[in-house]
A and B are shown apart, each in its own frame.
Chain A
Amino acid sequence: MISGRAHALRITVWLVVASEGLLFAGLFALYAGYRAEYPRGFAEGVGLAVGWLGGTNTLVLLTSSFAMAAAIQAGPRAARRWLVGVLGLGGVFLGLKGAEWAIHIGDGLVPGAHYAGPHTPGTALFVTLYYAMTGLHALHLVAGLAMVAWARRREDPAVTECVGIYWHFVDLVWVVLWPLFYLLS
């Protein structure tokens, strides 16, 4: 039963999205709680962000989601090429993210005992959450890349569609992270 398999895959991916969604929701709740407690410290933390890197990365991920959607629309052969695009853009995102982390670490913005950033109450918590949330997101992106590579090999429209749903989810999480860590100062 081919349709049974596709049905099973589709339920699975939505369950995974729901489960991961709650994982991030826990962190968003922490962010909200601490931001309410330390509005100034958090605003100052956002000021430390490397704005153009965050913006570029947002564009990169949105473009990758577009390529993903195109892969799902295209036939199995053309999908392979679009998926290469997704893989490439995902790689670029991780590279930029890594560069950004390196800059922050160079500036002494490390979580924990060696934190050497501003001492406004709450800013250190902001930095910890920044690493936790963007780090967790990056891990999901790595998992997403593995799935995309798998979908590319399988050439199965149902698989591509389900991997696409996951990819859009990872993208969506970033679209929420972006204002929280780069814009709302």
Chain B
Amino acid sequence: MSEPTAPPPSFWTEPRGVRTWLATTDHKRIAILFFVGTALALMLGGTFALILRVELVVPDHGIVGAHAYDKLFTHHGIVMVWMFMIPAIPGVFGNFLVPLMIGANELAFPRLNRASFWVYATGACITLAALIGGGVDTGWTFYTPYSTTTPTAVAVVCVGVFVLGISSVMTGLNFIVTVHTRRAPSVPWMKLPLFVWTIYATSIILVLATPVLGLSLALVGADHVWHLGLFDPAAGGDPVLFQHLFWFYSHPAVYIMVLPAMGVVSEVVSTFAHNRPASYGGIVVATIGIALVGFFTWGHHMFVAGMSMFDTGMFGALSMFVAVFSAIKMFAWVITFYRGRVVLAAPVLYVFTFLFLFLFGGMTGVAVATSSLDVHWHDTYFIVAHFHFIMVGATLTAYLAALHYWFPKLTGRRYSEVWARRAAVAVALGFVGTFLPQFLLGNAGMPRRYYAYPEEWQWLHVASTCGAGLLALGLGTTLVYLGVALRRGPPSGDDPWQSRGFEWRTPSPPPAVAFSAPPVWERDAYSYEDEVP
């Protein structure tokens, strides 16, 4: 990591040497390590996705066979969910920013933080090692009894994802303790930046839900090896019980991905509207509310798996409740924009895309939470499109918004705004182009996870693949101009966006030790009053 024009010493260069990077306990460096890991995961998962999309251009056998197709979508899902989306925003931006936003020099447990990265790397390697053994064909949901009887390398992947889960718990625990014990005196709870609130809420989910994932995976892995028949009807087991365990984690897990994304959006909206969030309290309540209600909605994945009318109704209604909290946030963001003076820049373009995808995806969520409608849409491309819009779309656009918004903070440099806007437009059009046709496909009855389909749907599949190409182009472009900016971007100054956020009150990039004494901040992180006419 050499800097060509020697800028003032920063965490990048202090101390020097690869060794100091590998053994680092500095939250800023760990954030960069997580960035490298999650970016590689995004590229790998994206490559799998492109192969899937190219295969689907023709209605029957194209570039890969049916079984290879199964393995590709399985590994696509596993890599994207556990190696990219879950650790992406907390691991990179949470690690980098939470201490800077609360006036601390480090997390509560710096060595635990270092361990959480290396455990993540280990888990990722184990998970990928399964590919050498031929890969897994269960889908990311590991539904039994197929997952316990398929001859593919299920146990290896279970171990790998289990280890990734341990890393999640370590990260979450560290953030919770940090927010409780490391806040500077001038950052009481209700002055915490909204991003910190979302990381805090996410951490609660990480700590409480991940063990249940670990348990489900341990049971599937053990069952696969020792033929326990725990979820196999032939041995008296009940596959639906597995689904309950799996979704007890995996539904809250979608909020692990989307809450930090919402935190990013709150920060970007406020900075680029030069305006205080329309309702700080409302957003905090909605954040905690989503985290808590999210624990009681898992049953909506199993409406057609066999469930009493009462449970169906309860799970449906509770799921829709999440939309109420989400709507509070939507209104708050829109009002903040409306009352502010919006400066158009790449992060804002990503936030616009986020708002569209989140609104559209959320409404389809309410639609599929209506059990009578879900009977029609369950296990079709409609579901695939729903969760890509809301979970992937929201997380990816927020990740990109964060990357652009905080790029000067991380590096002290500016990127090419022109290219950034072009890429943001390509990502937006590419994403919608990929998944809008999938809503139509699903509604027409195309089941998910099939590599062949009737010819009359070909045009929709071709459209979707074109969208995916554009999306890949946008992401590839981003990699290039950010890479160039990292080396040669002009200096950005400490606070290029004139933000009032706490994190911008340290030099950019920050020195290895950001605060020589607990900072005294008289004005809060959203104090734009003097600016708004």
Contacts and interface: CB of A to CB of B under 8 A. Distances in A.
Contact of A125 (B209, B211, B230): B230
Interface of B: 108-109, 169, 173, 176-177, 180-181, 207-212, 214-216, 219, 222, 226-230, 235-238, 241, 244-245, 248
Contacts of A8: 108-109, 177, 180-181
A7 interface: yes
A15 B238 contact: no
A25 B215 CA distance: 10
Given A26-B248, A121-B236, A111 B211 contact: no
Given A25-B212, A34-B241, A111-B228, 17 more contacts: A7-B181, A11-B181, A12-B109, A15-B207, A16-B173, A18-B208, A19-B173, A23-B211, A26-B215, A29-B241, A33-B244, A34-B238, A38-B236, A112-B226, A112-B228, A125-B237, A132-B219
Interface of A: 4, 7-8, 11-12, 15-16, 18-20, 22-23, 25-27, 29-30, 33-34, 37-38, 41, 111-113, 121-122, 124-125, 128, 132
Chain B facing A: main interface SS: helix
Nearest to B174: A12
Contacts of A20: 211
Nearest to B235: A124
Nearest to A131: B228
Contacts of B216: 26
Contact of B207 (A19, A26, A112, A128): A19
B226 A22 contact: no
A11 B177 contact: yes
A128 B230 contact: yes
A33 B173 CA distance: 30
Contacts of B219: 132
Nearest to A12: B177
Nearest to B244: A29
B227 A113 contact: yes
B238 A33 contact: yes
15 contacts: A11-B176, A12-B173, A15-B177, A16-B173, A19-B173, A20-B211, A22-B209, A23-B212, A23-B214, A23-B215, A26-B211, A26-B212, A30-B241, A34-B238, A112-B229
A98 B207 CA distance: 31
B236 A122 contact: yes
Nearest to A37: B238
Contacts of B229: 112, 124-125, 128
Contacts of A124: 229, 235-236
